């Protein structure tokens, strides 16, 4: 056999190399969807111990930050939520209600329960400052559902200056 024939022979795809290459490609194509799919599976869900949790967020210039819940001010009518909320700080339920961007002067602020979490929103309340007398006031949510709550600065008053804090009660099962 000449040198040219040996070189041509080594460059050709023989049956064995073809089967090996096909097996490697097939394994990669099968494994990738399995790995990616497992990230969305219930095994990756967030499970919080059953109970009712109160989380308090402070409005700022960037992300809302959490703080230890304080008593609901006397001038606010407390929403229906749970009888004895768990007020541990930091709250284990914070992972279900991730911090969001909430500027003090935002027209609306929405909090949403993270996908795969075993908690639902059971109550919400916001405090804001009035423009005319710089006094704190309470605002009910514009809309509330099990998975999200929205506060709007246009809730029937034109005397809105800025948000102070947001209180959200989560019931986890």
Arithmetic mean of pLDDT, 40-67: 77
In whole angstroms, give the CA distance from residue 42 to residue 153: 37
**What per-residue string of b and e applies to 124-152 under the rule 16 or more CB within 10 Å gives b?**
bbbbbbeeeeeeebbbebbebeeeebebb
3-class DSSP assignment, residue 114: coil
Quick check: bond before 12 cis, omega within 30? no
Q: What's the burial of 47, exposed, middle or buried (CB within 10 Å: 0-12/13-18/19+)?
A: middle
Residue 71's beta-bridge partner residues?
none
Arithmetic mean of pLDDT, 51-58: 90
Helix residue ranges, H only, the chain = 3-11, 15-38
pTM of structure:
0.67
Dump pLDDT digits (tens) for 77-130: 766 677 788 888 888 888 898 877 778 888 888 999 999 999 999 988 888 887
68 — phi, psi (to 5°)?
-60, 130
* Band (147; pLDDT cuts 50, 70, 90): very high
Asked whether the predicted pLDDT for residue 162 surpasses 70, the reply is: yes
User: What integer pLDDT is reported at residue 149 of this predicted model?
Assistant: 92
User: What integer pLDDT is reported at residue 114 of this predicted model?
Assistant: 92
Query: Is the distance from CB of 46 to CB of 96 less than 8 angstroms?
Result: yes
Asked whether the predicted pLDDT for residue 64 surpasses 50, the reply is: yes
* Band (76; pLDDT cuts 50, 70, 90): confident
Asked whether the predicted pLDDT for residue 47 surpasses 80, the reply is: yes
């Amino acid at each position: 056999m000449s040198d040219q024939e040996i070189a041509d022979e080594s460059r050709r795809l023989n049956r064995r190399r073809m089967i090996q290459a096909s097996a490697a490609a097939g394994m990669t194509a099968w494994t990738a969807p399995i790995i990616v799919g497992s990230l969305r599976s219930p095994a990756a869900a967030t499970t919080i111990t059953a109970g009712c949790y109160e989380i308090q967020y402070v409005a700022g210039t960037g992300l809302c930050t959490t703080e230890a819940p304080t008593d609901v001010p006397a001038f606010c009518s407390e929403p229906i939520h749970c009888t004895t909320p768990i007020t541990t700080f930091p709250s284990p339920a914070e992972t279900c209600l991730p911090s969001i961007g909430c500027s003090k002067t935002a027209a609306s602020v929405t909090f949403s329960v993270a996908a795969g979490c075993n908690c639902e929103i059971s109550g919400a309340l916001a405090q804001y400052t009035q423009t005319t007398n710089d006094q704190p006031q309470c605002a009910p949510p514009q809309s509330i559902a099990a998975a999200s709550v929205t506060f709007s600065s246009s809730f029937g008053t034109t005397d809105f200056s800025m948000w102070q804090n947001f209180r959200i009660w989560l019931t986890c099962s």
